[in-house]
Amino acid sequence: MDICPRAIACFNAVIKSLLSLLGVNGSDKTLTPNPLVSLSQNDAGANMNVSLFSANGIGTVLANTAILQDRAYWEVVIVRNGPFYVGVSHRIRKNNPNTNYSYNDQLVDRNRNWAVKSSALGNLKTDNTIGIALDNTGIPTIIFYVNGKHVSEIKGIKGDVYPAVSMETEDAILEFRFNDNDFRFPPQNGNSFGRPFTGIIPARNVI
């Protein structure tokens, strides 16, 4: 699907205006245009407001690609604070009569998603950056950072998962960064074994 450059420009202008109104320093560069990896409006709750990189509302939204590489990293910037869960999730198969889960729910089912609540990441504030790393080189593990500092991790991720966030109220506005060039806090690779963490490489069906 082609992404209209005018839509991207409008989105960036809205984010810049919100940051200005909230008193956040306008030091962020414009996010990478024409992205292959973005949020998916097809995998979002009915009460979620979703653009390429921004989410607000009540419910869950996924990115448009599964994470298939050994080590992946992305960031979530808090444009406006509020309660939310952030992590990874299985995609819901449409027309599956065996599922009782929907994107209107929160990321709290450990059989389908692996996420932490924002309150478990410390005293988060507007303009804080949550870094999320998924390491598939051993026991699949998702690692959480706040402004570059390690704060939490979850082991035992199963199956193909997608970057995901869910919101309990309409208070929060979150901005996603999937591209290496857009990261505020480049990924910490820990040791020299295996490949380094990089921005999400889109799955073949997205290219």
Residue 121 identity: L
Question: pTM for this structure?
Answer: 0.81
Tokens of 115: 């996420």
pLDDT at 85 > cutoff 70: yes
pLDDT digit string, tens, across residues 146-192 = 999 999 999 999 999 999 999 999 999 999 999 999 999 998 765 44
What is the distance, to the nearest Å, from the Cα of residue 196 to the centroid of all Cα atoms in its chain?
19
Q: Which one, of 81, 89, 112, lies nearest residue 162 by Cα?
A: 89
β-strand pairing of 129-135 with 71-80: antiparallel
Residue 17 banded pLDDT, cuts 50, 70, 90:
low
How many alpha carbons fall within 13 Å on the CB side of residue 38? 20
Structure confidence at residue 10 as a pLDDT band (50, 70, 90):
low
Spatial contact of 186 and 177, defined as CB atoms under 8 Å apart: no
